[in-house]
Amino acid sequence: MYCLVAEGVLDLAVDAAASPWDLAALVPILTEAGGVLTDLSGAETFTGGDGIASNGAVHKAALEIVGR
């Protein structure tokens, strides 16, 4: 689902349970595509727990809705 955000098919992807191996490789893919990947509190990390990826334009609004 995160690659669909990088591709532009989705604007947002939220994962309530993510492992580091689910997220680590996605950071360069998303950022090179202009996207953002953080945890649900907004910290730029890929250590797992949870994750939210967006096209960048909707990230702040999405964090206000689903963030901690």
pLDDT digits (tens, 9 = 90+) for 46-67: 787 888 999 999 999 999 999 7
Number of domains in the chain: 1
**CATH no. for residue 24?**
3.40.190.80
CA-CA distance, 35 to 26, in Å (whole number)?
Answer: 10
For the chain, the straight-line distance linking the first and the last C-alpha, in angstroms and rounded, comes to 22
Count of alpha carbons within 13 angstroms of residue 46, beta-carbon side: 16
Residue 1 has pLDDT above 80, yes or no: yes
- pLDDT tens for 2-55 read 899 999 999 999 988 888 888 888 889 999 999 999 999 999 887 878 889 999
Boundaries of domain holding 26: 2-66
Q: What is the pLDDT of residue 24?
A: 86
For the whole model, what pTM was predicted?
0.85
Contact indicator for 55, 35 with CB cutoff of 8 Å: yes
Helix ranges restricted to H, the chain: 2-7, 20-23, 26-32, 59-66
Q: What is the pLDDT of residue 51?
A: 87
